[in-house]
Structure 1
Amino acid sequence: MNEVFWAFGRASGIVSLGLFTLVVVLGIVSRSGRPLPGLPRFSVALLHRSTSLLALVFLVLHVSTLMLDPHAKLSPPNVIVPFTAGWNPFWVGLGTVAFDLVIALVVTGLLRQRIGQRTFRAIHWAAYAMWPFAFAHALGSGTNAVDLWFQAYAWGCAAVVACLIIWRLSANFIETSRARLGRI
């Protein structure tokens, strides 16, 4: 049974990395106001939210199955307080930092109407910090990190995120409001 928890914990972590990569991509595309091929603009925001929820589900599966795995030896405080895990504390701690940032993003997303758009956006920029922490966690503590297929997968995700962030920060990126006015 231990092998099942370990395998499911690894698999859900790998899926989480891909889904959070897609979440970052969809968030940037949504902010640009541009449609994706075959989808209207409003659908990009809906797809971003739905993918975020799916990524969160896989992240919770990742954390909870590893809490049940006796090899990982994760306790509830290890999941919240970074760098306290008994096994591989630095790399697991980076995952904990990413998890804490995801929790902040979820909470502010749920409180978006109460905290206001400006506060929500300011906190939502934490997504750009969350992804590199999760990426480093995957490379440092993932048992598949040395496998060529995982390296290709992880660095492919990194290349996609890097390209989209460069575009997001470039002068060619047009914000949603200007895109709606047809200035793209």
Structure 2
Amino acid sequence: MIHFLIELPTWLLIRTSGILSYLTLFVGMAIGIAYSFPQFKGHRKGQLLRWHTHANLTGMGFALLHTVLLIIDTFMPFDWAEILIPFSAQNNPVLTGLGTIAMYGLLLVLFTTDIRNKLKRKVWLALHMLSYPIFALSMLHGIFLGTDSKQGWAAAMYIATAIILVGLTLVRFQMSSRKRQVKVGHTKPL
């Protein structure tokens, strides 16, 4: 078994699992933001919630795989303390620490979502909004530590995902702002 693990193309798997984690978490966030749009109701809204949950759990799975592979990598192995304790890695402690904090944050968001019925809505929502800084930490971790980041496709991926999430968030805020204005009678609905 150990011989099999040593012969794995771990560096390729580490990079691939990191990128897949980032992309599936991006999809989860984009769907989560779209979930709040008033156009989605009933069955479609339920379907969005399932996709949102599935994408985030898949992203977490890829992130955990990314982490475990760092432990067994023979080229630049990390020990458990370097992975689990933020900013303790020998190589690139700050950027590795950002990845560790993002992982803990993601676990917190997923866990509190599972127990949201036991939390006050405002508490759950505040914790769920941590998804934004967690995603930013993941993006910084990938941009500055990822070995593929200097390639055009990777740069385009990071730029596109950031623009899409910022755009969706702005649309979300605009819609909620209009909704609040209609409730207090400042504007007429369209």
Report the TM range for the smaller structure's normalisation: 0.7 to 0.9
Q: Which has the higher contact order (CA 8 A, sep 6+)?
A: 1
Amino acid at match of 1:140: F
Q: How far has the Cα of 1:101 moved from its partner?
A: 0.6
What does residue 158 of structure 1 align with?
162
Quick one: which of 138, 141, 151 aligns to 1:137? Answer: 141
Q: Which runs of at least 4 in structure 1 moved beyond 4 Å after TM superposition? A: 171-175
Distance change >3 Å, CA 43–CA 85, structure 1 → 2? same
Amino acid at match of 1:110: D
Q: Does 1:167 align with 2:171?
A: yes
Q: How far has the Cα of 1:126 moved from its partner?
A: 0.4
User: Does the 8 Å contact 1:167/1:173 carry over to 2?
Assistant: no
Quick one: which of 66, 69, 74 aligns to 1:70? Answer: 74
Deviations 1:47-75 (A, max 9, x none): 11111111111111111111211334322
What does residue 35 of structure 2 align with?
30
The answer for unaligned runs of 5 or more in structure 1 is: none
Supply the RMSD in Å over aligned alpha carbons: 2.3
Distance change >3 Å, CA 34–CA 55, structure 1 → 2? farther
Amino acid at match of 1:55: G
- Aligned mates of 1:2, 1:159 — CA distance in 2: 39
TM-score when scaled to structure 1? 0.85
Higher radius of gyration, 1 or 2: 2
- Aligned mates of 1:98, 1:28 — CA distance in 2: 19
Q: Does 1:146 align with 2:165?
A: no
- Aligned mates of 2:125, 2:178 — CA distance in 1: 17
User: Does the 8 Å contact 1:73/1:85 carry over to 2?
Assistant: no
- Aligned mates of 1:156, 1:99 — CA distance in 2: 22
Residue 146 of structure 1 aligns to a residue whose secondary structure is coil
- Aligned mates of 1:57, 1:103 — CA distance in 2: 11
| Within-5 A mapping of 1:63-102 | 63-102=67-106
The answer for unaligned runs of 5 or more in structure 2 is: 1-5, 183-188
Residue 35 of structure 1 aligns to a residue whose secondary structure is coil
- Aligned mates of 1:42, 1:174 — CA distance in 2: 24
- Aligned mates of 1:66, 1:89 — CA distance in 2: 14
Q: Does 1:14 align with 2:19?
A: yes
Residue 36 of structure 2 aligns to a residue whose secondary structure is helix
Distance change >3 Å, CA 111–CA 72, structure 1 → 2? farther
Quick one: which of 24, 38, 50 aligns to 1:46? Answer: 50
- Aligned mates of 1:34, 1:93 — CA distance in 2: 39
User: Does the 8 Å contact 1:2/1:70 carry over to 2?
Assistant: no
Percent identity between matched residues is: 22
